[in-house]
Structure 1
Amino acid sequence: MSDALPEGIKHLVTIKPVEKAPKLTDQAKKELQGVGMMDDKGKLKLKGVSPKMLKRMKQEAVDCPVLNQEIAFVQCYVCKNFHSRVTGQVYCKGEPL
């Protein structure tokens, strides 16, 4: 693994498969509904993400370096610090929320 991260990226976070993903926080749900990525019933609707990929994303989690806790990958994916996902890892900007 190379130590050089892209400019503006502070963390390289590993995505791990989990049996049951952590629940989305109420704050995350409100943010998702506010930007139209979740309907009123709580169903995710991410543009550009196939249903098959979304199902896989729901079974993944990351140890968030900003929140210092394990969160569902979907919550990481919609975070303002999310830069990109590359081969089982996430580039995180690491800015305070």
Structure 2
Amino acid sequence: MGELEHKYEVEVKATEKQQRLPDDVKEELKASGMMDDKGKLKLKGVSPKMLKRMKLEFVSCPVLKKDVQFIQCFVCPNFQSRVTGKVLCKGDSLK
């Protein structure tokens, strides 16, 4: 199997405290069916234990030019894969 085409390799960093998702991201998750009305995430193929760990991680997004919660990165259309603490990002514009 060949390598996935990606523009950026972004390191995943951990934090002590859970970060809050911005309201616009929450609305997008609800619209796509990945979050219920109560605000609980429903990501297919992700166990509750892994989801809890993902909430404590963030990445320095090369497209948005700021730190974002890993869950926001995970549901981004640019997300390719996560391999050994790094995220492969397509780097396309989000607008």
Q: TM-score when scaled to structure 2?
A: 0.91
**Separation of aligned partners in 1, 2:49 and 2:87:** 19
Runs ≥4 in structure 1, deviation > 3 angstroms?
Answer: none
Q: Is 1:82 aligned to residue 79 of structure 2?
A: yes
Q: CA RMSD in A?
A: 1.1
Following superposition, the deviation at residue 31 of structure 1 comes to: 1.2
**Contact 2:79/2:89 (<8 A) preserved:** yes
Question: Bigger CA drift: 20-29 or 59-68?
Answer: 20-29
Query: Which deviates more from structure 2 when the two are superposed, residues 84-93 or residues 12-21?
Result: 12-21
Equivalent position SS for 1:66: coil
Counterpart of 1:31?
A: 28
- Report sequence identity in percent: 61
CA distance in structure 1 between the partners assigned to 2:78 and 2:24 by the alignment: 16
Aligned partners of 1:16 and 1:62 also within 8 Å: yes
- Alignment of 1:45 onto 2:42: yes
Task: Identify which of 83, 91, 94 aligns with 2:88.
Answer: 91
The answer on 1:67 being equivalent to 2:59 is no
The count of residues paired between Structure 1 and Structure 2 equals 92
Partner Cα separation in structure 2 for residue 24 and residue 69 of structure 1: 14
Q: What are structure 1's unaligned runs of at least 5 residues?
A: 1-5
Give the AA of the match of 1:53: M
C-alpha contact (below 8 Å) 1:21/1:61 kept by paired residues: no
Distance in 2, Cα, partners of 1:51 & 1:22: 17
SS at match of 1:40: coil
